[in-house]
């Protein structure tokens, strides 16, 4: 999907998601993104996987860990409500905030603008969209 044409998307069907702090913004037509089988369909993890944006998900997006923890900065009214399983799992997340969600469970439910932030503890693990590798002997 990374090269998807966004010029012909009607404004009322446009989904725009910005992943902070990198400032990577992706756009697609609501209801047309293929399900990449990472988390729930149309979840932020699913969007990230479709557009080659690294969002760690050690459990494969099955709500069994907290590595895809994100903070929703904008657009929360267009996102599914957290269910009990997600809330129970979030209780174990590092640096939990009122706007914390699991990227695999937070589903975009309508077109609009969304901004999510990958917490510092998770983004320090990434470099150029891939996990960091430690140099030997250092």
Report the alpha-carbon distance of residue 108 to residue 80 in Å, rounded.
7
Q: Is the pLDDT reported for residue 120 higher than 80?
A: no
Query: What is the number of structural domains in the chain?
Result: 1
Structural domain contains residue 98: yes
Q: Which two tokens stand for residue 97?
A: 């905030």
- Output the pTM of the full model: 0.83
Amino acid 122: pLDDT = 64
Summarize pLDDT for 55-99 with one digit per residue, the tens.
999 999 999 999 999 999 999 999 999 999 999 999 999 889 999
- Segment 36-40 shows an average pLDDT of 88
Report the alpha-carbon distance of residue 72 to residue 100 in Å, rounded.
6
Structural domain contains residue 64: yes
Structural domain contains residue 63: yes
Q: Which domain holds residue 36?
A: 13-126
CATH of the domain at 51: 3.10.20.30
């Amino acid at each position: 999907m990374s090269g998807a044409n966004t010029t012909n998307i009607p404004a009322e069907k446009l989904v725009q998601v910005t992943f902070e702090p990198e400032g990577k913004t992706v756009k697609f037509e609501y209801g047309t993104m293929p399900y990449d089988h990472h988390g729930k369909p149309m979840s932020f993890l699913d969007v990230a996987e479709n557009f080659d944006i690294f969002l760690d998900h050690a459990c494969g997006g099955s709500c069994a860990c907290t590595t895809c923890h994100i903070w929703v900065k904008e657009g929360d009214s267009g996102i599914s409500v957290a269910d009990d399983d997600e809330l129970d799992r979030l209780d174990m997340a590092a640096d939990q905030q009122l706007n914390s969600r699991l990227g695999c469970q937070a589903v975009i439910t309508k077109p609009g603008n969304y901004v999510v932030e990958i917490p510092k503890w998770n983004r320090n693990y990434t470099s150029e969209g891939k996990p960091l590798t430690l140099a030997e002997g250092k």
